[in-house]
Amino acid sequence: MAVGIFDSGLGGLTVLDAVSKRLPEMPFVYFGDNAHAPYGVRDAQDVYELTTSAVERMWAEGCDLIILACNTASAAALRRMQESWIPPEKRVLGVFVPLIEALTERQWGDNSPPREVAVQHVALFATPATVSSRAFQRELAFRAIGVDVEAQACGGVVDAIEDGDLILAEALVRSHVDALKRKMPNPEAAVLGCTHYPLMEEIFSKALGPDVKVFSQANLVADSLADYLERHPVMAGPGQKSMFLTTGDPATVSNRATQFLRRKIEFEAA
């Protein structure tokens, strides 16, 4: 049994960390497309081609179920993949659905018709590609009625985090929160819709103020994956080995990943 976790780069390690803690016996194959990151400024066709090729690579490692930890890939490529590309015996799942199920207080996998929910004003922080896809609003509309979503494309934040410039990242987060609040002064909930933003969660929370509930993905994805595998145990594929694959330079990516997760991580060439 093994499950694949895909991200454009290192940000998905926040999800990998949470799923490995939640499912300690499960081998995970992590694929970071570092050579082509960031995805957040690419067009949908580009994101689709890169994501499908990474997914094929993880299938080859015996992962029948792949989680797209990358919000940009979930937003810009997943629907097209599910409609016409994924064979019936494989699954590729994204990160928006668990988040929206938590936001709308649904059970995992509850596909009943949309209904009124407690939150009515939601701030979405994400990459430019995720925001322009409107995938979050589309998935939300399947589950909830009357929720107003204001999206803020957080240009520059991912690059600043990847470059290790946390002072710049913090300043950018504050200015993106200010910009959002000018459009929606009193959101009840905020969604951190990008793999990298959990690293800035405290800054988002402080800038948003104590009345805003902040939804961050890693633990929600872990809980919903555990529940999914309980319902569909056969989807844990035949792979046996945990591994870290990258399209970038394995030595450089391993160093960054080790700093990121504060434990030794060794990537190999994809």
Helix spans in the chain (H)? 13-22, 44-60, 71-76, 78-84, 96-103, 128-133, 135-141, 157-162, 166-183, 201-208, 217-231, 250-261
**Could you tell me the CA-to-CA distances from 44 to 32, 95, 185, 219 in Å, in that order?**
18, 17, 31, 27
Among 1, 2, 5, 9, binds ligand DGL (CB under 6 A): 9
37 contacts ligand DGL (rule: CB under 6 A): yes
Residue of minimal Cβ distance to ligand DGL? 40
* Least CB distance to ligand DGL at residue 5 (A): 11
Binding ligand DGL (rule: CB under 6 A), the pick from 30, 39, 215, 260 is 39
User: How far is Cα of residue 152 from the mean position of the Cα atoms in its chain?
Assistant: 16
Q: Quick one: CA dihedral 191, 194, 199, 200, positive or negative? A: negative
Between 153 and 208, CB nearer to ligand DGL = 153
Residue 256 near ligand DGL by CB under 6 A: no
Instruction: Determine if 194 is a binding residue for ligand DGL (CB under 6 A).
Output: yes
Active-site entry in 29, 66, 67, 70: 70
**What would the x/- binding string for ligand DGL be over residues 106 to 135, using CB under 6 A?**
---------------------x--x-----
Residue 154 designated active-site: no
Q: Does 7 bind ligand DGL (CB under 6 A)?
A: yes
Query: How far is Cα 98 from Cα 95, in angstroms, rounded to an integer?
Result: 6
Nearest approach, Cβ of residue 74 and ligand DGL (Å): 8
11-30 binders of ligand DGL (CB under 6 A): 11
- Is residue 200 a contact residue for ligand DGL (CB under 6 A)? no
Q: For ligand DGL, which is the closer residue by CB, 7 or 61?
A: 7
63 is catalytic: no
Site string for ligand DGL, 53-72 (x = CB under 6 A): -----------------xxx
Whether 173 contacts 196, CB under 8 Å? no
Radius of gyration of the chain measured on its C-alpha atoms:
18
> Least distance in Å: CB of 231 to ligand DGL?
26
3-state helix, strand, coil in the chain (%, to 5): 50, 20, 35
Round to the nearest angstrom and report the end-to-end CA distance of the chain: 20
**252-256 — which CB contacts under 8 Å span 24+ positions?**
253/10, 253/32, 253/34, 256/10, 256/162
Residues that bind ligand DGL (CB under 6 A): 7-9, 11, 37-40, 70-72, 127, 130, 158, 194-196
* Residues annotated as part of the active site: 70, 194
